[in-house]
Structure 1
């Protein structure tokens, strides 16, 4: 099991590279350099670039979900609580800089299968919103 703080340090480094230099600059060598690890140290935590990109996307989803869940508690009992929470989350600058999210999505777009967790998350949110609104799917 990898050390969570080292893992977060690596993901933070990859996120900085994506935001500052573009998604195309996310390479294992660049991430190792940015995180202050040897390439072997990086490979211990993430054996492939795909594993690193997947972890970046999973962390993005987890962080966004945590903020949304806080907003859901605020809007509990209100009409369209999930939709309200999603909008409040999206408008919250503390969630994640949109340029970082876009860079991560651009990076994982090279491997379409890596987007499956995001697709599933979006589908679940869509279903919840439709159920709360009483609208039938189009």
Structure 2
């Protein structure tokens, strides 16, 4: 396998800076240095920070499409593949996941924001565990809530069938 193009090296550098240090560390100079290209070379491929972001978002959509195709034929099946690859530590070698993590780092330019949100999640999970006898079910309900919350935060559509049938969902989970 040959060396990646300068364009891909620049996107790799941008992505890794986001993952390692967050958006506050991203400057065109830092990305160029990490990619081992001149600032002029970076600007040749991406004329602005916004163009660089658009390049990363395009990469995420391409990698997601490829990952979805892989999931369709995964030996463990789509559901197990989806859930296992959704766990950060277990799938950081997945290029689509790494790109997604980098993009999500853009949501907060302050690490203390992410730390606070992790603590908020921990507190909610603890409360659920107090009210649901089975710890695994409490964790499932917590993760389900996280997904609903993330989707709403991103402006995505509310999953109406799930919300309309929430009592049934909770009953199936044994959480009522």
TM-score by length of 2: 0.49
Q: Return 5+ residue gaps in structure 1 as ranges.
A: 111-118
Question: CA contact under 8 A between 2:11 and 2:56: conserved in structure 1?
Answer: yes
Report if aligned partners of 1:32, 1:39 keep a CA contact under 8 Å in 2.
yes
2:59 paired with 1:59: yes
Q: Does 1:101 align with 2:97?
A: no
CA spacing shift, 1:32–1:47, aligned 2, 3 Å: same
Alpha-carbon contact 1:17-1:31 (below 8 Å) kept: yes
Q: Would you say 1:7 and 2:3 are equivalent positions? A: no
Structure 2: 5+ residue stretches without partners: 110-153, 164-176
What per-residue deviation string (whole Å, max 9, x for no partner) do you get for residues 35-80 of structure 1? 11111111000011011112112212322331221111348xx8xx
Q: How many angstroms apart in 2 are the aligned matches of 1:66 and 1:100?
A: 13
Cα RMSD of the aligned pairs, angstroms, is 3.7
The size of the alignment, in residue pairs, is: 113
User: Rg bigger for which structure?
Assistant: 2
Q: Is 1:87 equivalent to 2:86 in the alignment?
A: no
Query: Could you tell me whether the CA contact under 8 Å between 1:71 and 1:85 is conserved in 2?
Result: yes
For residues 52-109 of structure 1, give each alpha carbon's deviation from its aligned partner in whole angstroms, at most 9, with x where no partner exists: 112112212322331221111348xx8xx5x555335424613249676344223277
Deviations 1:108-134 (A, max 9, x none): 778xxxxxxxx7xx77xx9xxx9xxxx
Higher relative contact order (CA 8 A, sep 6+): 1
